[in-house]
């Protein structure tokens, strides 16, 4: 189901969800469905499918895991950035290692959220990266990384 509600007359933020766990994708899709200014336009289960759906839907933003099969999330980020579509990338992952946060952001991700934080942070993060801000919420490293952004 694709939501298409406009918020205050503005065009909703079109989002692709990329995660290898079906239940997690569905839960995030339901949660984002309550946001008037966010529309989920597709779901991907792995890196290759993410790249295909980015080309097909040209979403405004992607919420993606780093671990989704044969193609690494970092490589997917780099390939999306190289397409110059202006797509914003919000990493939502179980990994909270400092080097992965830095590598994801250095590869072109606009935000990084660990799955150990509240899922409510996803909508907040999507709005922040839409507005040109960096967004990092990671339980162990949030303060250190945010101070560098």
pLDDT per position in the chain (149 positions), as tens?
A: 333 344 455 799 999 999 999 999 999 999 999 999 999 999 999 999 999 999 999 999 999 999 988 889 999 999 999 999 999 999 999 998 999 999 999 999 999 999 988 888 999 999 999 999 999 998 764 444 444 44
Other Cβ atoms less than 10 A from the Cβ of 28: the count is 21
Architecture of domain 13-146: 3-Layer(aba) Sandwich (3.40)
Provide the whole-model pTM: 0.87
Other Cβ atoms less than 10 A from the Cβ of 120: the count is 9
Exposed (0-12), middle (13-18) or buried (19+): which is 60, by Cβ within 10 Å? buried
3-state percent breakdown (helix, strand, coil) of the chain, nearest 5 = 40, 20, 40
What is the per-residue burial (b if ≥16 Cβ within 10 Å, else e) of 82-101?
eeeeebbbbbbbebbeeebb
Rounded to whole angstroms, the Cα distance separating 21 from 101 reads 21
E strand or H helix that includes residue 89: strand 88-93
Token pair belonging to 67: 């671990």
């Amino acid at each position: 189901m694709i939501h298409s509600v406009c918020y205050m007359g503005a065009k909703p933020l079109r989002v692709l969800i990329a995660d290898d766990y079906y239940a997690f994708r569905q839960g995030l899709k339901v949660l984002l469905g309550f946001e008037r200014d966010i529309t989920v336009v597709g779901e991907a289960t792995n890196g290759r499918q993410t790249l295909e759906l980015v080309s097909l839907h040209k979403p405004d933003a992607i919420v993606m895991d780093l671990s989704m099969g044969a193609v690494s999330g970092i490589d997917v980020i780099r390939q999306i950035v190289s397409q110059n579509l202006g797509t914003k990338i919000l990493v939502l992952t179980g990994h909270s290692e400092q080097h992965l946060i830095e590598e994801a952001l250095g590869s072109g991700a606009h935000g990084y959220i660990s799955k150990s934080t509240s899922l409510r942070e996803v909508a907040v993060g999507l709005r922040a990266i839409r507005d040109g801000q960096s967004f990092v919420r990671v339980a162990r490293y949030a303060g250190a990384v945010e101070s560098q952004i």
